[in-house]
Amino acid sequence: MTLLSEGPSAIDDIASPWLRTMRQWWTLTARGMLKVLRNGEFLFAFISPAFLALCFYLPLRKVMDSAPGMDYGQFLMPIIVLQSVGFAATSAAMRSAFDVTGGINTRFRALPMSGAVPFFARSATNGVLLVVSLLCGAIAVLLIGWRPGGGVSGTVLLFGIALIIGVLLALLCDGIGLVAGSPEATSQMLGLPTMILGMVSTGFVPEERFPEWIRGFARNQPISQFVEVMRVADSKEPMTWAVAQPTVWWCLGLAIGAAVLLAIGAKKVRT
């Protein structure tokens, strides 16, 4: 009754901070999307998985298809989709690193703006790029012969898993970019682990094709576990807790790592 008796100005005074925050978030999100368009990231979102698919599918298809029950296009699908979300995560890391080196975060501190607004704007941009990357990854694997094997529910589960992994990786990499503080350091921090985990995984070749001494690592590292649960989702096999458990724990680890790095990065930005 008090607000109504005081007229519209009192309501506007209460609503204005929220509206101002939303306008700031929208402005920064639009800025991020324009940079994505100018940098050609949507184009590279398709080129990245397509190039990886062709580089492995063309030379290895005949060798792998000769194995009993092997369809290499189907086999490659999870790692190509993960490559797509990995591209979006790497872009997220570089985006936050450029914000640090470009001094934009320093300018933001001088404005009447919540410190969470730049983070949520980057997250919105990263989310759009992640969805586009997943669509591009789906097109790439369809081109090399993948066809959904788990029906509608299995396909939804498959890309739902990929989306969750992508969101967690984007948050983790956003924190890495803030902590690293420069695009060069960010690239170095991401390059070697990504290459090792990707190549020494069961995404490209079955576990039995690895030397015996490294099979344990190849089987249990996170990329292989993500690949395994995605393959089960894309099949007629039931999704049991035994299959899903390693991926759940790795996702929890990614979430904790992302929270820690983002907290450290936010503190670094404020100082």
Residue 67, domain extent: 32-270
Which ranges of 183-234 does DSSP label H, i.e. alpha helix?
A: 183-199, 215-220, 222-233
**What is the count of structural domains for the chain?**
1
pLDDT for residue 15: 52
Q: Is there a domain that residue 26 lies in?
A: no
pLDDT for residue 9: 47
CA distance 146 to 140: 9
Please determine, for residue 235, whether its predicted confidence score (pLDDT) is greater than 50: yes
Give the list of residues 6+ apart from residue 255 with CB closer than 8 angstroms, or none.
168, 171
**Long-range pairs for 197-206 at CB < 8 Å and ≥24 separation?**
197/221, 197/222, 197/223, 198/79, 198/83, 198/86, 198/223, 201/79, 201/227, 202/227, 202/228, 203/76, 203/78, 203/79, 203/82, 203/227, 204/56, 204/60, 204/76, 204/79, 205/60, 205/64, 206/67, 206/75
- pLDDT digits 0-9 by tens, 51-68: 888 888 888 887 776 667
Q: Is there a domain that residue 86 lies in?
A: yes
CA distance 88 to 72: 25
Q: What is the mean pLDDT of residues 62-86?
A: 85
- pLDDT digits 0-9 by tens, 118-132: 899 999 999 999 999
Q: Is there a domain that residue 4 lies in?
A: no
